[in-house]
Structure 1
Amino acid sequence: MCDTHVNEARQWYDTADINQVNELLANAGASSIWVKRLVANNNSKQQIWLANDPSDLSFLPLGAPSYTPTKSQKRKAGNPVIQIPVTWQWVTPNGRFDAPDAKLCYYPQYPEVRFSGFLHGCREAPSELLNETKRGHEVNRCLFLGPVKNGSGEVIRVVALVVGAESPAARYVLSMETFEAGHLCPIVYQSQRQRDEFSVLEQALANIVGRKITPWRLNNDGAIVKPYIAPNAPGLTLEAELGVGENAIPGPDFDVWELKAIKQKSLERRYNHKVTLFTPQPDLPETGRLSTVDFVLKYGHIHTTDEGGNPTSYYFTSGDIQRENEDDKPSAKLELVLEGFTDAKHFDPNGMIALYEKGTRNLAAGWSYLKLLGHWQRKHNRAAYVPYLREGEDGNTSVEFGPLITLGISTSFGLFLQAFKEGKAVYDPGDKATLTNGKWTPHARSQFRINLNDVAAIYGEVREVDMRDPESY
Structure 2
Amino acid sequence: MKDAKLSNVFAYQNITHKDVFLSQKKYLSLFLNTIMNLESLKQLFLYHGCDKIYVKILSANDNSKNQVYLSGSYDVLNIFPISEIVADSSGDWKKERFKASVKFSWITDEGKITDAPNSQFILYPKYPEVRFSGFLQKSHNAPSELMSKRLPGRLLFMSVSNSGKILGYVSSPESEVTQSFNSLKHLEVAGVFKVLELELKINYRELLLKELFRIHSLGWITSKRLHKSGNILPCVSSNCGGYTLEAELGISANGYSEPDYLGYEIKQFKANSFDRIANEVITLMTPEPTGGIYVDKGVGNFIKSYGYEDKSGKEDRLNIGGIHKSGVRQPLTGLTLQLIGFDTETFKIRNASGSISLIDGNGNEASSWSFTSLIKHWNKKHNQACYVPSKSVKVPLQKYLYGNKVLLGNGTDFQLFLKQMLLGNIYYDPGIKMEFVSSSKPVIKRRSQFRIKSGNLTNLYKQSEIVDLLKI
Q: Shared fold by TM > 0.5?
A: yes
Which protein is richer in strand relative to its size?
1
| Residues 285/425 of structure 1: CA separation in 2 closer, same or farther (3 Å cut) | same
Q: If the length of structure 2 is used for normalisation, what is the TM-score?
A: 0.80
Aligned match for 2:296, one of 270, 289, 294: 289
Q: CA deviation at 1:189?
A: 4.4
Q: Which residue of 1 aligns with 2:166?
A: 158
Aligned match for 2:180, one of 171, 180, 183: 171
Q: Which residue of 1 aligns with 2:159?
A: 145
Q: Which residue of 2 aligns with 1:7?
A: none
Contact 2:156 2:170 in 1 (8 A): yes
Pairing 1:37–2:67 present: no
User: Structure 1, unaligned stretches of length 5 or more?
Assistant: 1-9, 150-154
1:214 and 1:52 map into 2 onto residues whose CA distance is 47
Aligned CA-pair RMSD: 3.5
Q: Which residue of 1 aligns with 2:3?
A: none
Q: CA deviation at 1:269?
A: 3.0
| Residues 179/378 of structure 1: CA separation in 2 closer, same or farther (3 Å cut) | same
What SS does the corresponding residue of 2:406 show, helix, strand or coil? strand
Aligned match for 2:136, one of 116, 119, 124: 119
Q: CA deviation at 1:426?
A: 0.6
Regions of 4+ moved over 6 Å: 10-14
Aligned match for 1:108, one of 99, 119, 125: 125
Pairing 1:99–2:128 present: no
1:218 and 1:330 map into 2 onto residues whose CA distance is 40
Pairing 1:17–2:38 present: yes
Which protein is richer in helix relative to its size?
2
Contact 1:37 1:182 in 2 (8 A): no
Pairing 1:404–2:412 present: no
User: Structure 2, unaligned stretches of length 5 or more?
Assistant: 1-30
| Residues 63/469 of structure 1: CA separation in 2 closer, same or farther (3 Å cut) | same
Q: CA deviation at 1:107?
A: 2.2
What SS does the corresponding residue of 1:67 show, helix, strand or coil? strand
> Map of 1:346-365 to 2, 5 A cutoff?
346-358=349-361, 360-365=362-367
Pairing 1:335–2:333 present: no
1:215 and 1:177 map into 2 onto residues whose CA distance is 47
Q: Which residue of 2 aligns with 1:132?
A: 149
44-53 vs 363-372, greater mean Cα deviation: 44-53
1:163 and 1:206 map into 2 onto residues whose CA distance is 45
Matched residue type, 1:452:
S
Pairing 1:90–2:90 present: no
What SS does the corresponding residue of 1:284 show, helix, strand or coil? coil
Contact 1:47 1:115 in 2 (8 A): yes
Give per-residue Cα distances to partners, 1:65-98, cap 9 Å, x unaligned: 22223598xxxx7152221111222233464322
1:126 and 1:332 map into 2 onto residues whose CA distance is 57
What SS does the corresponding residue of 1:468 show, helix, strand or coil? helix
> Map of 1:11-410 to 2, 5 A cutoff?
15-18=36-39, 20-28=40-48, 30=49, 32-41=51-60, 42-58=62-78, 60-70=80-90, 78-92=94-108, 93=110, 95-133=112-150, 136-139=151-154, 141-149=155-163, 155=164, 157-164=165-172, 166-168=175-177, 171=180, 175=184, 179-180=188-189, 182-184=191-193, 187-189=196-198, 192=201, 194=203, 198-212=205-219, 213-220=221-228, 223-285=230-292, 289-303=296-310, 311-318=315-322, 324-325=327-328, 331-342=332-343, 343-358=346-361, 360-392=362-394, 396-410=397-411
Give per-residue Cα distances to partners, 1:83-140, cap 9 Å, x unaligned: 111122223346432211111111233332222211111112232442325xx4224x
Contact 2:106 2:142 in 1 (8 A): yes
Q: CA deviation at 1:177?
A: 5.7
Q: CA deviation at 1:301?
A: 0.8
What SS does the corresponding residue of 1:411 show, helix, strand or coil? coil
Matched residue type, 1:145:
S
Matched residue type, 1:36:
V
Q: CA deviation at 1:219?
A: 4.5
| Residues 180/323 of structure 1: CA separation in 2 closer, same or farther (3 Å cut) | closer
1:286 and 1:191 map into 2 onto residues whose CA distance is 50
Q: CA deviation at 1:456?
A: 2.6
Contact 1:424 1:457 in 2 (8 A): no
What SS does the corresponding residue of 2:241 show, helix, strand or coil? helix
Contact 1:37 1:143 in 2 (8 A): yes
Matched residue type, 2:460:
I
Q: If the length of structure 1 is used for normalisation, what is the TM-score?
A: 0.79
